[in-house]
């Protein structure tokens, strides 16, 4: 059975859209300017800015107007509370499973938050397993997290496909292990010179479809 390793945030689910919705609600709840939405999204940088740095910047900007608990709730739960799984992603995963693929989510991030996303969207019913960086102590692109993903379903790693939106975490990690991969562009151009994705797709459904047509 072929092995398919799939990134979670901004690949299987639109993490940025979910967090944007959470931030808009946060600003409205506390009577803060709508125009701050762009500032928060830039600051948070799709989760790549360290959480403590984001929390410190929000605390500094809003002072006594917003409690630290409210800021912590936004950063801990905001994306997980609003994330959704698109119909096309759901159907692509279901088809992959029906065709005999073993699907495993491989994601960086806090365990509680990432598992909430997986369960809230029903992804836990569509994949055979998942690994989260905080849980196992390794992050993409480190090879150990890819190896752990394969071990989760007792399958060999060689021959697997990797699908993700991060050139550094997903595609570089896969390339170093000699794994075929699909980069989900999210409308962005490829900017790396030292390595290239095996294939490029506009969305995860198209990426899964390509892997399914090229299992061997």
pLDDT at 86 (0 to 100): 96
Same domain, 120 and 69: no
The domain boundary, picked from 82, 102, 131, lies at 82
Same domain, 98 and 205: yes
Q: Directed axis angle between helix 36-44 and helix 51-62, to 10°? A: 150
**Residues 56, 66: contact at Cβ < 8 Å?**
no
Same domain, 119 and 168: yes
The domain boundary, picked from 32, 65, 82, lies at 82
Q: Residue 175 belongs to a domain with what CATH number?
A: 3.40.50.1000
The domain boundary, picked from 82, 106, 121, lies at 82
Q: Directed axis angle between helix 15-29 and helix 36-44, to 10°? A: 140
Same domain, 171 and 145: yes
Q: Mention every residue, 6+ apart, whose C-beta is less than 8 A from residue 14.
A: 83, 84, 86
Q: What pTM value is reported for the model? A: 0.93
Same domain, 89 and 139: yes
Same domain, 73 and 101: no
Cα three-residue angle 75-50-103, rounded to 5 degrees: 75
Same domain, 103 and 209: yes
Same domain, 167 and 95: yes
Task: Write phi, then psi, for 188 (nearest 5 degrees).
Answer: -105, 150
Same domain, 69 and 92: no
Task: Write phi, then psi, for 71 (nearest 5 degrees).
Answer: -65, -45
- Stated length of the chain: 216
Same domain, 58 and 8: no
Report H helices in the chain.
15-29, 36-44, 51-62, 68-82, 87-98, 111-120, 133-136, 143-152, 173-176, 204-213
What is the C-alpha to C-alpha distance for residues 86 and 92, in angstroms, rounded to an integer?
A: 10
3-state secondary structure at position 166: coil
Residue 99's domain comprises 3-14+84-213
Same domain, 10 and 34: no
What is the C-alpha to C-alpha distance for residues 49 and 105, in angstroms, rounded to an integer?
A: 22
**Residues 53, 114: contact at Cβ < 8 Å?**
no
Same domain, 140 and 109: yes
Per-residue pLDDT of the chain (216 residues; tens, 9 = 90+): 799 999 999 999 999 999 999 999 999 999 999 999 999 999 999 999 999 999 999 999 999 999 999 999 999 988 899 999 999 999 999 999 999 999 999 999 999 999 999 999 999 999 999 999 999 999 999 999 999 999 999 999 999 999 999 999 999 999 999 999 999 999 999 999 999 999 999 999 999 999 999 997
Task: Find out whether the peptide bond into 141 is cis, omega within 30 degrees of 0.
Answer: yes
Which CA distances in Å does 17 have to 13, 20, 207?
9, 5, 20
Q: Mention every residue, 6+ apart, whose C-beta is less than 8 A from residue 206.
A: none
Cα three-residue angle 130-113-156, rounded to 5 degrees: 15
In the chain, how many domains are there? 2
Going by C-alpha positions, the residue among 192, 210, 191, 194 that lies closest to residue 202 is 210
């Amino acid at each position: 059975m072929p092995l398919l390793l799939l990134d979670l945030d901004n690949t299987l689910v639109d993490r940025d859209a979910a967090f944007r919705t959470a931030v808009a609600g946060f600003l409205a709840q506390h009577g803060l300017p709508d125009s701050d939405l762009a500032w928060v999204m830039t600051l948070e940088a799709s989760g790549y800015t360290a959480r403590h740095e984001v929390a410190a910047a929000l605390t500094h900007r809003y002072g006594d107007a917003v409690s630290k608990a409210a800021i912590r709730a936004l950063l801990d739960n905001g994306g997980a509370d609003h994330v959704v799984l698109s119909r096309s992603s759901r159907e692509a995963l279901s088809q992959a499973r029906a065709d005999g693929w073993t699907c495993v989510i491989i994601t960086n991030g806090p365990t509680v938050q990432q598992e909430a996303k997986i369960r809230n969207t029903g992804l836990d019913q569509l994949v055979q397993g998942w690994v989260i960086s905080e849980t196992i102590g390794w992050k993409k692109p480190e090879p150990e997290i890819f190896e752990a993903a394969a071990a989760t379903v007792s399958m060999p790693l060689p021959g697997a496909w990797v699908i993700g939106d991060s050139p550094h975490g997903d595609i570089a990690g896969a390339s170093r292990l000699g794994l075929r991969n699909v980069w989900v562009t999210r409308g962005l151009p490829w900017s790396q010179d030292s390595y290239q994705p095996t294939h490029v797709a506009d969305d995860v459904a198209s990426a899964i479809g390509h892997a399914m047509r090229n299992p061997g």
